[in-house]
Amino acid sequence: MLGNMVPSFTGDAAGPNIRYFLQILEQVGRMGGWQDSQLIGIARCKMLGAAYDFAWRDDSVTAASTYSEFRALALERFDTEPLSSKVERFRNARQNAEEEARSFANRVRLLGTATLANSSGEEPAKTQLRCEILAEQMLSQFLTGLRDPVRRFVLSRDPKSFDEAIDVAAKEERNEKLSQSSSVPVRHVDENANAHEIAAASTAWKNS
């Protein structure tokens, strides 16, 4: 069931923050073709702890008829981090040692989206412009935060969009791993080698 892919939201530091929760909900909703009523229903069922009262006892939430209304109310209630802190975290995003390029890209996208102030009531043209500017900023931050040598390779390809940069980075990352695995030295042992030598060779190969 697709609903199982949506994490629970408790409204405190013990679980995902509200923007991550809503992002996953919306991604799963697109996969399932959910309507507003389904998005709201799943979201409310996934809210536990302090968030439970918000989901089931807040009159404005129970009266929300569209997902955009529900989303705005949820952000107003739980998105309490100052905008300056969100912008700083976005600008300081760097790929971690064991983090894959696509995972880092998802983190950049989430951090970048969090810097967008509530645009409800704004003219569609202004909202579109802000989203386009953010897309350029996410591309720039992704390229800045990537680890070398993948970063240098992606820059050499001069990607024009965030999605293009992600694809190039992911492919180069796979090529890099394949190159590393193919260069692992193989130790040949003759038929007269004793058991200790065979075990040592096997261990060295596995740990290389």
- The proportion of the chain whose per-residue pLDDT surpasses 90, expressed as a percent, equals 53
What's the rounded mean pLDDT across residues 11-30? 86
51 has a pLDDT exceeding 60: yes
pLDDT at 54 over 60: yes
Please write the tens of the pLDDT for every residue from 135-192: 999 999 999 999 999 999 999 999 999 999 999 999 999 999 888 877 655 554 444 4
- Per-residue confidence band for 128, with pLDDT thresholds at 50, 70 and 90: confident
Distance of alpha carbon 190 from alpha carbon 194, whole angstroms: 9
State whether the Cα torsion 62-63-66-67 is positive or negative.
negative
List 47's β-bridge partners, or say none. Answer: 9
Q: Taking all residues of the chain, what is their mean pLDDT, rounded to a whole number?
A: 85
Calculate the CA dihedral of residues 145, 138, 76, 13 and round it to 10 degrees. -20
Residue range 81-112, pLDDT digits in tens? 888 998 999 999 999 989 999 999 999 988 89
Q: Where do we find the tokens 């001069």?
A: 158
E strand residue ranges, the chain: none
Q: Can you give the pTM of this predicted structure?
A: 0.63
Q: Is the pLDDT confidence value at 114 over 50? A: yes
Question: What is the residue extent of each domain of the chain?
Answer: 2-78, 83-182
- Hey, CA dihedral for 30, 94, 126, 161, is it positive or negative? negative
Q: For the domain with range 83-182, which CATH number is right: 1.20.120, 1.10.1200, 1.10.1740, 3.40.50?
A: 1.10.1200
Residue with the larger pLDDT of the pair 1 and 137:
137
The pLDDT value recorded for residue 204 is 44
